[in-house]
Amino acid sequence: MSRIVLDSSALLACLNGEPGGDAVTDQLVQAVMSSVNLAEVVGVLVRRGASFERAREILDLLEFTVADFDRPLAEQTGAFVKHTTSRGLSIGDRACLALASRENLPVLTADHAWSDIDVGVEVRLIRHT
């Protein structure tokens, strides 16, 4: 199985047992996620009632790599705003796409708004409805 970039929506689908989450589980060991997207996942878990410590415990059980959000990724994330604003993508979404672009890897997401964005990244949806 090849490496893949993981969007926060895909990891949350996995954690919440949502449709398509099993496709994420199958690829976690090969997955890399931007630290920005990890922050989003922690934020969602805490907002839904988990303590920060519990959110860390949950995420520590999963095997995936976290990529630091460095200056080149920040710059590419900013550059993607031109191609993604009309689709409503957040800075986290663009950070995920920037990491996929840099690593030349496909991205796994549950966000259908990404399906026809042309930034030179292969987008794989975990669910189609």
Q: Tens digit of pLDDT for each residue in 90-123?
A: 999 999 999 999 999 999 999 988 888 888 999 9
Which residues sit opposite 123 in a β-bridge? 107
Bin 120: left if φ > 0, else alpha if -120 < ψ < 50, else beta. Answer: left
Instruction: Give the residue-averaged pLDDT of 20-29.
Output: 92
Distance, CA of 56 to chain centre: 17
Q: Where are the domains of the chain?
A: 4-125
pLDDT in tens, 55-89: 999 999 999 999 999 999 999 999 998 888 777 88
Tokens of 119: 């930034």
User: Considering only CA atoms, which of 8, 15, 57 is closest in space to residue 31?
Assistant: 8
pLDDT computed for residue 87 by the predictor: 79
Question: Does the pLDDT value for residue 129 go beyond 70?
Answer: no
pLDDT computed for residue 7 by the predictor: 96
Which band of pLDDT confidence, cut at 50, 70 and 90, is reported for residue 1? low
pLDDT computed for residue 118 by the predictor: 83
Query: How far is 72 from 16, CA to CA, in rounded Å?
Result: 32
- CATH number attached to the domain at 4-125: 3.40.50.1010
CB of 4 closer than 8 Å to CB of 108: yes
Question: Does the pLDDT value for residue 36 go beyond 90?
Answer: yes
Query: How far is 61 from 30, CA to CA, in rounded Å?
Result: 15
Cβ partners under 8 Å of residue 100, min gap 6: 5, 106, 107, 121, 122
